[in-house]
Every structure is written in C-alpha cells, then in structure tokens.
Amino acid sequence: MPTLPRLPLPRWRFAAAMLRALVPSDCPLCAARSRGGLLCAACEESVCWAARTPASLGLPWRCGRCALPLPEHDTACPDCAERATAFERTIIAFDYAPPADALILQLKNGLRYGRADLLGNLLAEAVRHHVLPLAPATVLVPIPASTASLRRRGFNPAAEIARALGRDLELPVRRDLLRRDREQAKQSSLGRLGRRQAAQNLYASSPRARGLHIGLVDDVMTTGSTMHAAAAALRAAGAASVVALAAARTPGQFPAAPPRRPRAEWRG
C-alpha cells in the first residue's frame, strides 16, 4: 500500500495539530494506541486510502460527480449521466463500509460526539488530498436534520461534522442559508427512486446564498438525492457553485447496467 503524500498545513494549524496529537487515546477502530482521538496511522491509511488516491493509480474509478465507485473507467455513473446533479462534484473521506462505518454509527447512534471532530478531520484531509481544491471563499453549509432526528439525538451530525471541518480548513459554517421546508418519511426504508422523489422540494435556501461558493456537508451520502435536492435549492437561490462534502459514501447503490440516455441539464 503506497504512502500518501500530505499537503502542508498553515503554520498555526500545524502547531495546534501537533499539540492535539500529544494527547494519548485509543484508536476508535482497532483500540491500538493513538493520540488526539484520531485513528491510528494504519487504520487511517487503510480506511481512507481508496477515497484519497486518484483513479490514475489504478484504484476504484469513481463518478466525477457523486464519487460512486465505478466498475470501469467512466466519467459519470448511470444516475449522473442521466441527470446532471445540482452539485458539481463530491469529496468523501471514506466509503461507508466496515470497519469505517462504525465511526458514523458511533456518532449517530452511540452519540459519541467526539467522533464529529474525527470525521471532520478525515474529511478535511480528503479535501486537502483532492486534485481540485475548494474555491478560496467557500462557505460550509450542513444538510439540515429533520425535526424527528433532532428530537431523537439532540444534535445534527452533519452540522457537527461541518463545524469540525470548518475549524480544520478555516472556512465559515453557515446554518442560516438552508432550511427544511417539510418533514418526510425515514429515508433508510426507501430505494433510489423513492429517495429521489422524497427529497424533491424538501429544502429551501435563503437569498443570502446568492453568489456564494458552497461546500454542502453531510455525514453519509447514500444515493445523492438529498445532496442534489439541497444543492438545487441553493443554486435556485443564486449560489455560484455547490460541492458535496460527505464523510462517507455508500458504495453499494450501483444499478445493474441501465441504458444510457442523453443527459438532461439541471435547471432551476
């Protein structure tokens, strides 16, 4: 497994990271000795390696829009080839699969709040490793949680990850630019089409999003329907661009060889 290059951090961020790294802790995945609540070096490399490494090195090809692993070299998955998403590309920290999915479950179900810092850190590293950097004035916007999940957990995991990501990348987090317009059925019981229909018109954006470059943050991207609906609302409000930033991407949603159709551009 090749050693990944690390991009330089600003000097004060580097000093803060060094200080945090001095605090001993256990690796959340393998319980090996680690520091600062982060993954041990071996786990970080094995979990994040595939998402950070360009496909040109022979690793899983990914859709240029939604980061779905593809079985062969192609620029877009069938979903994105059929309908351009309202977000222009996606950056993920890792695929939502064992053992790394435990980090998400520890945050969302186990209410281990410290995992948001870890996930924000891994996502920040993914942004730094990505071949296309974020626009310098990017504003981070978390996907708003439903009232039901806010009531159940008492917090919005996407907002906590956005907060940690913003602190790491020194980017502002804006929670006033996007809101849910209505509640919906629990998405985990829905298929791809059901998720797409359920997410339509789910979000509304403030006119203050006009002209902004947005980094739209979520914990897990499953089909991309939520990201698309939220990005569509932001674009409709005049956002200059939207990049999807997800801690984890579900890799198993690849449909079986659908026919290729001409791509319809997103409008509105």
* Site of interaction with Zn ion (CB under 5 A): 27, 29-30, 32, 40, 43, 63, 65-66, 68, 77, 80
In angstroms, give the least distance from the CB of 67 to Zn ion: 7
Please, which residues have CB within 8 angstroms of residue 95's CB and are 6 or more apart in sequence? 50, 51, 69, 248, 249, 250, 251
In angstroms, give the least distance from the CB of 220 to Zn ion: 16
In angstroms, give the least distance from the CB of 66 to Zn ion: 3
In angstroms, give the least distance from the CB of 149 to Zn ion: 26
Could you write out the DSSP letters of every residue in 163-205? HHHHHHHT--B-SSSEEESS----GGG--HHHHHHHHTT-EEE
Nearer to Zn ion, 180 or 192 (CB): 192
Nearer to Zn ion, 9 or 81 (CB): 81
Nearer to Zn ion, 68 or 93 (CB): 68
Nearer to Zn ion, 156 or 222 (CB): 222
In angstroms, give the least distance from the CB of 76 to Zn ion: 5
CA-CA-CA-CA torsion for 144, 150, 155, 159, nearest 10 degrees? -10
CA distance 265 to 248: 26
Alpha-carbon distances of 98 from 115, 118, 248, 254, rounded to whole Å: 16, 17, 11, 18
Pair of tokens at residue 166: 């913003």
In angstroms, give the least distance from the CB of 27 to Zn ion: 3
Residues in the chain: 268
In angstroms, give the least distance from the CB of 223 to Zn ion: 10
Nearer to Zn ion, 29 or 119 (CB): 29
CA distance 87 to 250: 17
Report the half-sphere exposure of 157 (CA within 13 A, side-chain side).
23
Look up residue 107 and give its amino acid. L
Strand, helix or coil for residue 31:
coil
Nearer to Zn ion, 28 or 215 (CB): 28
Please, which residues have CB within 8 angstroms of residue 242's CB and are 6 or more apart in sequence? 86, 87, 88, 214, 215, 216, 231, 234, 235
In angstroms, give the least distance from the CB of 9 to Zn ion: 22
Nearer to Zn ion, 68 or 107 (CB): 68
Can you tell me which residue has the tokens 């001993």? 24
Nearer to Zn ion, 40 or 233 (CB): 40
